[in-house]
Amino acid sequence: MRNYKNFIGNEFVAAGDEMIAVHDPATEELVGHVAAASMDEAYAAVTLAASAQQAWRRLPATERAQYMRRLADALCERAPQIGAALAAESGKSLADASSEALYAAEIVRYHAEWARRIEGEIIPSDSPSENLLLHREPIGVVACLIPFNYPVYTLLRKVAPALITGNTVVVRPSNNTPCSAFEIAKAVLDAGFPPGVINILAMSHATAEAVCTHPAVGMITLTGSVGAGRKVLEYSQVNIAKSSLELGGKTPAIIEPDADLVRAANEVVASKVTNCGQLCTAVERVYVHADVYEEFVRLLKVRFLSRQFGNRAHNPKFMGPLINASSRLGIHQMVQRAVDDGATLEAGGFIPEGPGFFYPPTLLTGCRQDMEIVQEEIFGPVLCVLRYQDIDEALRLANDHQFGLSSVLYTESYRTAMLVANNIEAGELYVNRTPADPYQGYHAGWKRSGLGGDDGKHGMLEFTQTRLVVLKY
């Protein structure tokens, strides 16, 4: 049994009596308790972060980078402990959970390298004897709201660029997967950060709102649902705080007749079942050219039917569970409505008996563009397949959507690749592969998939604001 307190000012504290119970989604067994932060603790964390930020921002960026490199080293050293906590609370295999900690260390190292590359601009003035100097400055205190699906990586994905640009952070991990965040807090202590620079608190929704609307919070960054994004926009109105939102996705994959069908099927299925489909860039709808539709559906069906699911602590090759019972029920009801609306169930589509929030890999054909299963994010191991006649129709269908986070194209034609690259309404296009979010890229959504973005130079600059100095000489 794991028991954790909140991490405020480099100390583990718990003033309130409320505890958050954490369960293993593969067994439904209780694996830990986390203290829910009181309002007083939350305000104290923001106050400490605001105070610490004054000294932190004045450090040369190269010195901030030294702390971050030590943090990366500490994450690697503590990867077994972080991984064990993450595996227990998420249903991931121990190997995958530990690897997530190592990958998180790499994004910390990546952002540490920006220390000597955060640049302003000198802009020509219309007036003689005058320069316009554009400075890049930190925003202040950043509230970081972390999802359950990749909670270790996403936490550092947000914290690292915030720190290198001179901000301090108050982090709220998901209440489904908070334990791993407090194992990360131990790595923060190992790295020797000044008190108040990184604060991690488990919170109720009400306490999270209080943090996000605190006058000292200048930015809120969220990875989550569209509904959560709307809430953050409400919070940001109070102080006109900057918002960076990575929200829902409904990744379309277009399969052209010249595609390597076996490779495409293997990769699409892997994208769909990784982490039980709980990934915002997982392929959710497949548009297949009529000439290869029957063959591609056959390849998908064989792979869906052969994919086993179960407790990954027993067999890491299994597809693991969904995060909780409500998620599973909502997905199953969506599948049932799709079948009632005319879709054909080719594989899966049932709730298994026994403990754990498992749901089988589920394949639906005969889907229409107007179906709920095509228009709404599933966030589970369910794939819907549609047929098209030519690439113009495929593009029209792929773009006919509220989301625009990621997209996929399989083709051997550079003309087709360039046509789609220039016309797809999404923040990312992956050609002949499925999404993987390279941390030197820029992970940003169009439409309802978000505002701003993560990763790379542009993701780092999200955590800055500008000051224009008009200098007469």
Tell whether the torsion through CA atoms of 358, 363, 369 and 371 is positive or negative. Answer: negative
The answer to whether 382 and 53 have CB atoms below 8 angstroms apart is: no
**Angstrom distance (rounded) from CA 200 to CA 185:** 7
- Let me know the angle formed at the C-alpha of 384 by 380 and 386, rounded to the nearest 5 degrees: 160
The answer to whether 407 and 278 have CB atoms below 8 angstroms apart is: no
The active-site residue, picked from 100, 183, 246, 462, is 246
**Angstrom distance (rounded) from CA 332 to CA 310:** 17
Helix ranges (H only) for 30-93 are 39-58, 61-77, 79-90
**Angstrom distance (rounded) from CA 8 to CA 21:** 20
Report which residue type is found at 402. Answer: Q
Please say if 367 is a catalytic residue: no
Please say if 280 is a catalytic residue: yes
Smallest Cα–Cα separation from 203: which of 8, 24, 449? 8
The active-site residue, picked from 76, 212, 276, 280, is 280
Catalytic residues: 246, 280
